[in-house]
Amino acid sequence: MKAAILYEIKQPLRVEDVELDPPGHGEVLVRVAAAGVCHSDYHFMNGDLPITLPCVLGHEGAGVVEEVGENVSAVKPGDHVVLLFRASCGRCAFCQRGTPALCAMGGQLRNSGFLLDGTSRLHRPGVVLHHFLGVSCFAERTVVPEQGVVKIKPEVPFEVAALVGCAVMTGIGAVTNTAKVEPGSSVLVIGAGGVGLNVVIGAQLAGANQIIVADLLDSKLELARTFGATHVINAREQDVVAGVRELTGGDGADYAFEVIGNPKTMATAFQAVRRGGTAVGVGIPPFGSEMTLHARQPVHRHTTLNGRLPTTPSHHTSHATLGAHTPGARSSPPDLAARRPHS
């Protein structure tokens, strides 16, 4: 099969023939039908985040189960599935508390470059290739743990389903699960990329009254309006904090979401919330980067700074839950900037 391999940091991916072993105990082989090109992949390619090389990239995908290993019960051949880059066991203390993003099993899968038994299913002659975040969907097929897939209805388009694995659940989950945005609230979203647009969708679903989106590109801001943004700020032309305060009667936003991963804009989100407001960091900052904040603000303004680890649905998630969070009702989802065949 063909797969896109990263051999060196800051170098292009190389599409090459790769050998894929059959699924082992508790594993699933999936034919990849669609894969999202998420900016997080570029963070690893660029060296912003640590990665074990060589590695087959891709963490946002969907496809069809072709083969299952021993003791797999959640799916069977022919099932349509979303691939989960934050797989979770469903049994540990973190999973039981409702914080599966902190699951140790999932952490092992993402950080080791191998599957749960400590080995890889991806090879080239004489070379072991590492798995990427437990997914590696920049390939025609992939092998993942049973916990790394969730079954979906066949009528959900694959290119839409792929987004559920990262952008949709990360963005909407930041609103509904992390911040718990209340109806009538004012919301600031910094960054109108794929995840940022899903924060906008989440804010709209939560009943936010004002949804303010800040970005550097007018084209992205106009797209954000189609998703439900009520106001936009071009950060090249206007100070974001001043603009938000003007729009909110001088108070600041009830909630602010930073969806870029830049320490400066993370600080901006914190400064843009009202007294007692909440800022949520959703974007992934470069490894080792630091953020500077006014130390008195959390104390005297009672503001909260929270983090949102991207959380994907567990393999126990129901069709109904996925349906509620999938922008599949759109005839042509604006989430999809472009479609490209992988062959």
**Helix runs in 249-326, H state only:** 263-272, 296-300, 319-325
How far is the CA of 205 from the CAs of 35, 107, 228, in angstroms?
A: 26, 30, 10
Checking phi first, is residue 316 left (phi over 0); if not, alpha (psi -120 to 50) or beta? Answer: alpha
CA 327 to mean position of chain CA atoms? 15
Tokens of 124: 């080239």
Contacts 24+ apart (CB under 8 A), 45-52: 45/6, 45/9, 45/10, 45/11, 45/13, 46/9, 46/10, 47/9, 47/10, 48/284, 48/286, 48/287, 49/284, 49/286, 49/287, 50/287, 51/6, 51/9, 51/113, 51/132, 52/112, 52/113, 52/130
Nearest Cα to Cα of residue 162 among 27, 41, 8, 262: 41
Q: In what order do the strands lie in the sheet with 19-20?
A: 19-20, 122-124, 127-129
Q: What is the C-alpha R_g of the chain?
A: 20
- Write the CA distances from 72 to 41, 137, 150, integer angstroms: 29, 20, 13
**Token pair of 16 as six digits:** 């090459």
DSSP 23: P
* Active-site amino acid positions: 38, 40, 43, 59, 166
